[in-house]
Homo-oligomer: A and B are copies of this chain.
Amino acid sequence: MPIITLTSDFGTEDWFVGTMKGVIATIHPEATIVDITHAIASGDIRTGAFALAASYKYFPEGTVHVAIVDPGVGSKRRAIAIQTERYFFVGPDNGVLSYAVRGEKIRMVRVLENAAYFLKSVSQTFHGRDMFAPVATHLARGAAISKLGPSATNFVRLDWPEPKMSDNTIEGEVIYADKFGNAITNIPAACLAKPRNRFEVFKGRRRLCSVEDFYQSVPTGKAVAVPGSSGYLEIAVNGGNASATLGLERSNPVEVRLVTIQSVAGRAGGGRKGR
């Protein structure tokens, strides 16, 4: 039995997620359900898309990924299922699935219109329970995606903020601040070949830190940038909260600069003055 994952802005304070799990278990009691997160800020489609993109590929082939950040629930926005080479993705057609499928080979997109795969009564405020949970469970049980509704040639894709790369600098931005206050950027960690401390991170004219291998490469309380587990450069404060103390919030621009030997020498002095 494939796994069903859930990503949403439903929170865990109310009974919404539990109710979806009841629906899944009613259709297939042996289903395995994994929560990715339900703490996406209400209506924040972009962050929901990023959370799914950062996690989906750690699940086994055949997993059905459900992502619901759905302020337009009940309106004319479409609901879709996407089959890729390895996974299924189910959710509203508002972009919440689009970051995850960027790296996947898409096989089929279907619009969820076949009410035979929904609960008998479909509310206009909780499609997670009435439509997405049942559809996902039927897919996990082996229903053909083609039965869910008509084929779609396109779906809503959110812009991904590509960093601007030149010979000596990468201009990127903060994408996400995690629970530890680490600021995850859109700068691919793969761009920062070793030795990493040739690279330094700036916010505007302010030097934040150099790039190192792990958090404790710097003393407690000091900033450091590391190749993060999501595949992007992330800016942290060892033992602290980088987002709060360095003022790094989503969409804030940051810049990585390749430091030459001369500028390393310069940095040493500047660094001492600067603190």
Contacts and interface: CB of A to CB of B under 8 A. Distances in A.
A260 to B, nearest CB: 26
A111 to B, nearest CB: 18
A42 B180 contact: yes
A156 interface: no
Interface stretch (A143-151, A200-208, A226-234): A226-234
B216 A22 contact: no
Nearest to A43: B239
Interface string A10-21: 111111111101
Contacts of A51: 14-15
Contacts of A124: 213-214, 226-227
A125 interface: yes
Interface in A50-74: 51-52, 54-56, 58-60, 63, 71-74
A215 interface: yes
Interface stretch (A27-35, A102-110, A250-258): A27-35
A75 to B, nearest CB: 4
Interface in A100-154: 123-126, 129-130
A3 interface: yes
Contact of A25 (B34, B180, B241): B34
Interface string A207-226: 00000011111000000001
A5 interface: yes
A216 B72 contact: yes
A187 interface: no
Of listed A14, A74, A214, residue having the most chain B CB within 10 A: A14
A264 interface: no
Nearest to A13: B39
A211 to B, nearest CB: 12
A85 interface: no
A74 B215 contact: yes
A178 interface: yes
Interface of A: 1, 3, 5, 7, 10-19, 21-23, 25-26, 29, 32, 34-39, 42-43, 51-52, 54-56, 58-60, 63, 71-75, 123-126, 129-130, 178-180, 213-217, 226-229, 234, 238-239, 241
Which are the 6 A-B pairs with shortest beta-carbon distances?
A74-B214, A126-B229, A18-B36, A11-B179, A22-B58, A15-B55
Given A13-B178, A126-B229, A130-B229, 7 more contacts: A14-B39, A15-B37, A16-B178, A42-B180, A73-B215, A74-B215, A125-B234
